[in-house]
Structure 1
Amino acid sequence: MSTGRGDLPDLSYFLVIARHLSFARAAVELRVTASALSHSMKALEARLGVRLLHRTNRSVTLTAAGEQLRDSISDPLRAIDGAIEALNRFRDAPAGRIRLNVVVDAARLLLAPVLPGFVELYPDIEVDVVASNRLVDVVGEGFDAGIRYGGTVPEDMIALRLSRDIRWVVAAAPAYLERFGTPGHPRELAQHRCVRLRQGAGRIYHWEFERGDEELAIDVPGALTIDDTDLGLTLARGGAGLMYGPEPVFAGALAEGSLRLVLEDWAAVGGGYHLYYSSRRQVPTALRLLADHIRERRPLG
């Protein structure tokens, strides 16, 4: 068995594969090919003289030796990463790469307005954004942080507010309202056509309303179900039905008159967008700088 400092890159690769249990997903995070990862792991196993991974066409699992190696090297390699990250304060220009898992609307409303200015300020920082409405384990899937609505942030995470609270409203095209009328109470939605929303976990979202002390959650009817805001806006503009969502999503359509708000006195208010990350990991300098940049630019107030 021959090992040495040259094994460090392969050991780092091994930890990412062990976390994802997938060469393909690990390759995406590491920005190498799955084939290159496979060759690296075979070479590492040959040098160590033990098999670390069981591979089939459909799955990757750790051997007993692989589990022991993962448990033994996770903390030391994390400490090395932290030590290298700490050197950022001595650089003339901060550098690094941050991976974010972001709810889709936040990517468009919160990140898109500020990222051009951020990369102009910090050209040596790379930002990798995965926009998804599916709630993921950001630590387990190799992200530095996530951005979600305040009420959906996992409780064991540190959360940093990035925007004001957000009103959730209902909008429709003028042509739809002329044809079918304007609902005056959320329960009247039962007689309307609605564009239903599917949450990241696959559950159909019940539209939430509040007025004074009264709170309602309505399972609205509708022949159309979506999980994409841009598609919903196109459908609503075309008169397909009433649409529910965060008020900033509708700003452009409301300004141009292609949509109007209804049931405004029943608008529910939810927690704004929050950045969240694990308390067990050192916060990368690049992530802190991005959070500061968003809070300074205040794209949503």
Structure 2
Amino acid sequence: MFAVDGSCSLMPISRTDLADYNYFLAIARHRNFRRAGLDLGVSASALSHALKGLETRLGIRLLNRTNRSVTLTAAGEELQAAISVPFDQIEQAVDRLNRFRDAPTGRIRINVPSDAASLLIGPVLPAFVARYPDVELDVAVSNHLVDVTDGGFDAGIRYGGTVPEDMIAQRLSAEIRWIVVGSVVYLERYRAPAHPDDLATHRCLRFRIGDDSVYRWEFERGDEEIAVAVPGSLTFDDSRAILEALIGGAGLMYAPEPLVAPLLASGAIRQVLDEWAASGPGFYAYYSSRRQLPTGLRLLIDLVRELKPLGL
């Protein structure tokens, strides 16, 4: 701090100040007290109280808060720019200490779609917990496309074709085959389609993807490629919900083959349009190129690549 006469008078920063600056950075990153609290493992009310205390001690308003939004004041933007790098460096230094421990520690947050949660991450979690019991893993399951950096996540997992170009990506699975299936009940009631164009006369279970658009079913046969905007009165944003409608005979489903493999094996559903099945990019982990890869995240990626629940 500078004294009135212009000389430099240093005021020590207390542990409370350091904690509150960290809270401020989380709030500034998320622009939401509840999400920042989830990131830090504290309540939104505790964050609000800490932020008010910091603003009182500084004598400056850092945030503009309403019932609907949280924005930074000019002073808040300047503070965020000034202290973000030092706090990132501290976090990275602490994480590097993991190599001196008998067992890694830390907390990582990842954002994954429901298919990846059940087919890719779920199968490796027992082994991950057994090997790294002191690493805390927070998995947010969402089929909406999110900015993992702004959302406070260490990484995301998505199908290869949807990974943001400015991110580092690591492949976690082999290509995935996409097929059309229907229940025995449905296919006894309606003639199975022989060509993708025949879907125009069928009931189809449609899927809304991460950007809120309805997915067009894609087909390949030799050099032919077709994308069909299928009809249907039922639209979902979660493939697990579609399965219930599929089994009940509500319509045909366009699905990643690993998701419906158990139902195919049991005979509850059948594949149609076999020769038109298409393959697409598998799952990739992606994370910011601007930050060091946390130890826990590296260990999780390595384990998925080791166990290969969806091939590689």
Which band: TM-score by shorter chain?
Answer: over 0.9
Candidates 163, 171, 176, aligned match of 2:181 = 171
Could you say which structure has the larger radius of gyration? Answer: 2
CA shift for structure 1 position 46? 1.4
Structure 2: distance between partners of 1:141 and 1:230: 24
2:239 alignment counterpart: 229
Residue 287 (structure 1) aligned with residue 297 (structure 2): yes
1:3–1:47 contact (8 Å) kept in structure 2? no
Candidates 73, 76, 90, aligned match of 1:80 = 90
1:91 alignment counterpart: 101
Residue 119 (structure 1) aligned with residue 129 (structure 2): yes
1:57 alignment counterpart: 67
SS of match in other structure, 1:112:
helix
CA shift for structure 1 position 94? 0.3
1:4 alignment counterpart: 13
CA shift for structure 1 position 3? 5.5
Candidates 65, 73, 81, aligned match of 1:71 = 81
CA shift for structure 1 position 228? 1.6
TM-score by length of 2: 0.94
Candidates 12, 25, 34, aligned match of 1:15 = 25
Candidates 191, 194, 197, aligned match of 1:187 = 197
1:256-300 per-residue CA deviation (whole Å, 9 max, x = no partner) reads: 110111111111111011111111110001111111111111111
Structure 2: distance between partners of 1:173 and 1:57: 47
2:226 alignment counterpart: 216
Structure 2: unaligned runs, 5 residues or longer: 2-10
SS of match in other structure, 1:78:
helix
Structure 1: distance between partners of 2:36 and 2:12: 23
TM-score by length of 1: 0.98
2:260 alignment counterpart: 250
SS of match in other structure, 1:113:
helix
Structure 2: distance between partners of 1:200 and 1:111: 19
1:3–1:48 contact (8 Å) kept in structure 2? no
Structure 2: distance between partners of 1:164 and 1:11: 43
Structure 1: distance between partners of 2:30 and 2:193: 48
CA shift for structure 1 position 116? 1.4
Structure 2: distance between partners of 1:168 and 1:33: 42
* Amino-acid identity (%): 62
Which amino acid letter does the alignment assign opposite residue 295 of structure 1? R
Structure 2: distance between partners of 1:157 and 1:291: 15
CA shift for structure 1 position 5? 4.0
SS of match in other structure, 2:104:
coil
1:15–1:70 contact (8 Å) kept in structure 2? yes
Residues paired across the two proteins, number: 301
Which amino acid letter does the alignment assign opposite residue 212 of structure 2? G
RMSD after superposition: 1.1
2:55 alignment counterpart: 45
Which amino acid letter does the alignment assign opposite residue 281 of structure 2? G
1:6-47 per-residue CA deviation (whole Å, 9 max, x = no partner) reads: 211111110110011111111111111111001100111111
1:138–1:145 contact (8 Å) kept in structure 2? yes
Structure 1: distance between partners of 2:276 and 2:12: 66
Residue 267 (structure 1) aligned with residue 277 (structure 2): yes
Residue 240 (structure 1) aligned with residue 250 (structure 2): yes
